[in-house]
């Protein structure tokens, strides 16, 4: 029977059952958000009085595991003797549903690994092994980004059953590394092995070892040779064979030592397969990858529940390993349908191969007066085909400011093109959601630049205002939030109407307009920048607060009514003290539209400082390291449209006067993993003024 409440969480529906738990969709009345509540069986707590303590300790470790590719755990508790976890509700389904919908290309598989591998490595670096990596524990958010769920749950369960019997093994036989199946101590390489199996399954639609019973599968992991993936899918290139042999090596020392290493190898295979494909122009039949459109028909899995091997029932000895399992619990749940989940069709958006029609590459080249800057020619010579623009982090174009002008480039720095030449100071550069217009503040006006026609227009101006500091269009293009004289307004976004507005009275006279907030705090505000949440329901403002320090507030602006406006968070404030924040200055910020903010403090050259990421759902800073060699200083960081990459500008403080402005576009997950990054290649001494703010604007891939 479905409970009405678990702890404070209101239970809405059952999402599904795994090997040992039931997961519900719930509502958290405190933070007014949807959550997933995972309830573990009573027995876990009852079997061992010590377990409660261990459970709490382990749960704390899991809850502290923060990474952009790990499903965040919001809360852990116990209700009527049942332990439960409260996690972010992931409404994009699981990888297991996507695999059932058809096989993946190598590029598609690479994208999944690129997202989750850094999270896995980060956990391993902290000594936490997942132990139950499998497609049903890889969940997608509404944007199609994958996350790892159930971190440490297997360990928790093992801790309990192990304490009673001394030798329980937990995991899912189909994904269990040989050493895990033998009950030998595991490290991160057991998860790498499981990742190898997931890749095998994504590319073939089949698990490498199939048998009639869970135990028979587990034994195969120990004794059978690593299967040859090309026997299952002969269209795969040879490199895939090598990769699987290494990922699934019986001996963990022969495996990739990290998940990121394995991802890099997979990317190489994907690339060489693509190169081969384009240089030899093989027909689709010989293509080394199976295209999304050719996805196979759904298949049925043999079985796949979380598998608890307990020393209660059967005993088998294979390759020196003990197999003791409780056959009653896990296998029985095998075909339990997830009640509210429908299988998702293969995502077209997330897995689109990283290519784009060359026709959408803007070719607007404005004569540069500063002739010494060597501009690569925009694709005007048409004899050679223009290579397709890459897509990274869901972006295909980056606009930014250098030497007071707007420049455009592809995400890898290619096709660098200057698009304005008026010399005017520009700020708050951004793309309109149409992907065609760039807009920016110029004095007391907002101007728009049409990348197709190269026409510049004035969108709105407030000639008699003292300040016009922010202008941001909502994602659905229906509203715009702007700050004039440090008052914040939300008005319908209609280009024709805006042209006729030039003062406050005209602003508030617009149908559907409102001022936020209506009274009281206005005097304390010096508004710097504003942002919308992904669904345009929440807004965030960067402003100078009443204490004199800059801060960001997240608000629910329901109906624009001062009585219902709900302040959801303010930071840094009392939440944390970011290193470098002594002056209390934050010049700009960005929001992934979901739970993460990025901003930098103020240290040198009028605004470059330490970089910080803050999670306003957990109220904790996420990233405390400066990503480039842990050195200062950064500015103008931006989330990629899909939230997986970060763009930022960097100046090495150690080089003092000689510090150059460099631009980086890097996977967010790799930052925590401590990767080394290379800046985007730009002409020497491209930025003439070290105090200038590049203000990058990333265009969502069109």
**Per 3-state DSSP, what percentage of the chain is helix, strand, and coil (rounded to 5)?**
25, 25, 50
For 339-436, list the strands marked E by DSSP: 395-402, 405-409, 417-418, 427-431
Residue 253: DSSP 8-state: G
Q: How near is the Cβ of 292 to ligand ATP at its closest, in Å? A: 22
Nearer to ligand ATP, 107 or 141 (CB): 141
Bridge-partner residues for 33, per DSSP?
28
Q: Which stretch binds Mg ion (CB under 5 A): 150-158, 315-323, 525-533, 597-605?
A: 150-158
- Tokens 């967010």 belong to which residue? 668
Characterize 114-145 residue by residue with b for buried, 16 or more Cβ atoms within 10 angstroms of its Cβ, and e for exposed.
bbbbbbbbbbbeeebbbbbbbbbbbbbbebbb
Answer with the entry of ligand ATP, Mg ion, none that 94 interacts with (C-beta below 5 to 8 A by kind): ligand ATP
Binding segment (CB under 6 A) for ligand ATP, from list 10-18, 223-231, 261-269, 499-507: 10-18
Asked if 33 touches ligand ATP (CB under 6 A), the answer is no
Q: Which does 695 bind (CB under 5 to 8 A by kind): ligand ATP, Mg ion, none?
A: none
533-572 positions binding ligand ATP, by CB under 6 A = none
Touching ligand ATP, residues 233-262 (CB under 6 A): none
Nearest to ligand ATP of 92, 572 (CB atom): 92
142 or 688: CB nearest ligand ATP: 142
CA–CA distance, 617 with 619 (Å, rounded to integer)? 5
Using rule CB under 5 A, residue 137 touches Mg ion: yes
158 binds, among ligand ATP, Mg ion, none (CB under 5 to 8 A by kind): none
Q: Which of 68, 82, 105, 137 binds ligand ATP (CB under 6 A)?
A: 137
Q: Does 87 bind ligand ATP (CB under 6 A)?
A: yes
Member of 26, 69, 73, 94 binding ligand ATP (CB under 6 A): 94
Minimum CB distance to ligand ATP smaller for 341 or for 619? 341
150 binds Mg ion (CB under 5 A): yes
Catalytic residue among 132, 396, 428, 588: 132
Nearer to ligand ATP, 17 or 534 (CB): 17
**Which single residue is written with the structure tokens 């669904």?**
535
CB of 89 to ligand ATP, least distance (A): 5
Considering only the stretches 120-128, 149-157, 260-268, 359-367, report the one whose residues sit in contact with Mg ion under the rule CB under 5 A: 149-157
Residues 11-30 that bind ligand ATP (CB under 6 A): 15-21, 23
Residues 660-699, one symbol each (x = binds Mg ion by CB under 5 A, - = not), give: ----------------------------------------
- Return the structure tokens found at 540: 């965030």
Residues in the chain: 702
Q: Is 306 in the site for ligand ATP (CB under 6 A)?
A: yes
CB of 80 to Mg ion, least distance (A): 22
Closest CA to 260 of 208, 195, 203: 195
Which residue, 191 or 642, has its beta carbon nearer to Mg ion?
191
- Our answer to whether residue 191 is catalytic in this structure is no
- How many residues bind ligand ATP (CB under 6 A)? The answer is 25
Q: Could you say which residues in the range 420-459 bind Mg ion, by CB under 5 A? A: none
Shortest distance, position 49 Cβ to ligand ATP, whole Å: 24
Q: Answer yes or no whether residue 150 interacts with ligand ATP by CB under 6 A.
A: yes
Give exposure, 188-199, as e/b (b: 16+ Cβ within 10 Å).
bbbbbbbbbbbb
Whole-number Å distance between alpha carbons of 4 and 14 = 11
Alpha carbon of 196 to those of 189, 207, 233: distances in Å? Answer: 10, 10, 15
Q: What is the torsion angle, in degrees rounded to the nearest 10, for the CA atoms of residue 147, residue 634, residue 571 and residue 700?
A: -50
Min. distance of Cβ 78 from ligand ATP in angstroms?
18
Query: Minimal distance in Å, beta carbon 132 to Mg ion?
Result: 7
Q: From residue 611, how far is each of 336, 544, 587, 614, 635 by CA, in Å? A: 46, 19, 12, 10, 8
Count of Cβ atoms closer than 10 Å to residue 549 Cβ: 15
Burial of 532 (0-12, 13-18, 19+ CB in 10 A): buried
Q: Sort 349 into a burial class: Cβ within 10 Å, 0-12 / 13-18 / 19+.
A: exposed
Q: Please name the residues in contact with 571: beta carbons below 8 A apart, sequence gap of 6 or more.
A: 551, 552, 597, 614, 616, 619
Contacted by 271, from ligand ATP, Mg ion, none: CB < 5 to 8 Å by type: none
Q: Are 16 and 306 in contact (CB under 8 A)?
A: no
> Widest CA span of the chain, in angstroms?
85
Stretch that binds Mg ion, among 75-83, 144-152, 386-394, 501-509 (CB under 5 A): 144-152
Structure tokens given for 413:
């720095």
Nearest to 583 by CA among 557, 609, 552, 565: 609
Min. distance of Cβ 24 from ligand ATP in angstroms?
A: 9
Give the nearer residue to ligand ATP in terms of CB position, either 87 or 169: 87
Place of tokens 């989330």: 639
Residue nearer to ligand ATP on the CB measure, 171 or 694 = 171
Rounded Cα gap, residues 519 and 563, in angstroms: 11
Query: Using CB under 6 A, which of 63, 71, 215, 473 touches ligand ATP?
Result: 71
Which of residues 338 and 527 has its CB atom nearest to ligand ATP in the complex? 338
The reply to whether 401 sits near ligand ATP by the rule CB under 6 A is no
Question: Alpha carbon of 87 to those of 34, 38, 70, 72, 450: distances in Å?
Answer: 9, 8, 10, 6, 43
Q: Pick the closer one to ligand ATP by CB: 18 or 394.
A: 18
139 binds ligand ATP (CB under 6 A): yes
Whole-angstrom distance, CA of residue 671 vs CA of residue 596: 15
Calpha distance 94→381 (Å, rounded): 46
Q: How far is the CB of 293 from ligand ATP (least distance, A)?
A: 26
Residues that bind Mg ion (CB under 5 A): 18, 137, 150
Residues that bind ligand ATP (CB under 6 A): 15-21, 23, 36, 71, 87-90, 94, 132, 136-137, 139, 149-150, 172, 306, 338, 341
| Residues assigned a catalytic role | 132
């Amino acid at each position: 029977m479905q409970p009405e409440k678990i702890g404070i969480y209101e239970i809405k529906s059952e999402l599904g059952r795994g090997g040992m738990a039931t997961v519900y969709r719930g509502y958290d009345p405190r933070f007014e958000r949807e959550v997933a509540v995972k309830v573990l069986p009573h027995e876990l707590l009852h079997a061992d009085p010590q377990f409660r303590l261990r459970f709490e300790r382990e749960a704390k470790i899991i809850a502290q595991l923060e990474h952009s590719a790990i499903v965040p755990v919001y809360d852990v508790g116990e209700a009527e003797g049942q332990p439960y976890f409260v996690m972010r509700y992931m409404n994009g389904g699981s990888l297991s549903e996507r695999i059932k919908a058809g096989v993946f290309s190598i590029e598609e598989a690479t994208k999944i690994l690129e997202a989750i591998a850094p999270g896995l490595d980060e956990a391993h670096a902290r000594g936490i092994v997942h132990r139950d990596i499998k497609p049903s524990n890889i969940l997608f958010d509404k944007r199609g980004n994958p996350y790892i769920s159930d971190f440490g749950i297997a360990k928790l369960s093992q801790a309990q059953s192990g304490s009673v019997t001394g030798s329980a093994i937990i995991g899912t036989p189909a994904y269990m590394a040989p050493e895990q199946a033998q009950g030998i101590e595991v490290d991160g390489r057991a998860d790498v092995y499981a990742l190898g199996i997931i890749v095998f399954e994504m590319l073939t639609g089949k698990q490498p070892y199939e048998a009639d019973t869970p135990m028979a599968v587990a034994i195969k992991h120990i004794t059978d040779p690593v299967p040859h993936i090309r026997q299952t899918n002969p269209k795969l290139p040879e490199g895939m064979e090598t990769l699987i042999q290494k990922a699934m090596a019986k001996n963990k020392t022969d495996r990739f030592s990290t998940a990121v290493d394995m991802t890099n190898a997979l990317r190489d295979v994907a690339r060489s397969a693509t190169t081969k494909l384009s240089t030899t122009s093989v027909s689709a039949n010989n293509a080394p990858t199976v295209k999304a459109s050719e996805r196979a028909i759904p298949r049925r899995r043999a079985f796949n529940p979380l598998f608890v091997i307990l020393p209660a029932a059967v005993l088998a000895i294979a390759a020196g390993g003990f197999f003791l399992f409780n056959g009653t619990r896990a296998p029985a749940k095998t075909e339990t349908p997830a009640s509210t989940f429908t299988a998702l069709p293969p995502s077209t958006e997330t897995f689109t191969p990283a290519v784009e029609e060359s026709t959408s590459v803007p070719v607007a080249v404005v004569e540069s007066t500063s002739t010494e800057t060597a501009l690569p020619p925009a694709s005007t010579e048409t004899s050679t085909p223009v290579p397709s623009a890459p897509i990274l982090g869901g972006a295909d174009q980056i606009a930014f400011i250098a030497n007071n002008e707007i420049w455009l480039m592809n995400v890898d720095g290619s096709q660098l093109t200057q698009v304005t030449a008026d010399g005017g100071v520009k700020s708050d550069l951004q793309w309109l959601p149409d992907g065609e217009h760039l807009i920016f503040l110029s004095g007391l006006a907002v101007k728009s630049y049409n990348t197709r026609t190269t026409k510049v227009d004035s969108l709105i101006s407030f000639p008699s205002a003292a300040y016009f500091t922010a202008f941001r269009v909502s994602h659905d293009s229906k509203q715009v939030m702007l700050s004039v004289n440090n008052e914040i307004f939300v008005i319908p976004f209609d280009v024709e109407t805006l042209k006729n507005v030039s003062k406050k009275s005209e602003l508030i006279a617009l149908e559907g307009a409102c001022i936020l907030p209506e009274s009281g705090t206005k005097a304390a505000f010096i508004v710097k920048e504003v942002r919308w949440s992904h669904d345009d329901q929440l807004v965030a403002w960067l402003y100078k607060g009443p204490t004199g320090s800059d801060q960001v507030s997240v608000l629910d602006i329901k109906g624009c009514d001062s009585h219902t406006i709900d302040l959801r968070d303010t930071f840094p404030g009392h939440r944390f003290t970011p290193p470098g924040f002594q002056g209390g200055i934050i010049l700009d910020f960005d929001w992934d539209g979901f739970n993460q903010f990025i901003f930098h403090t103020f240290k040198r050259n009028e605004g470059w400082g330490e970089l910080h990421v803050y999670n306003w759902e957990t109220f904790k800073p996420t990233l405390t390291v400066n990503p480039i060699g842990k050195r200062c200083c950064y500015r103008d960081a931006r989330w990629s449209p899909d939230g997986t990459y970060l763009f930022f500008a960097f100046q090495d403080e150690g080089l003092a006067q000689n510090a150059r402005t460099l631009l980086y576009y890097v996977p967010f997950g790799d930052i925590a993993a401590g990767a080394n990054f290379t800046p985007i290649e730009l002409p020497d001494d491209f930025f003439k003024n070290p105090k200038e703010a590049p203000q990058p604007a990333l265009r969502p891939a069109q």
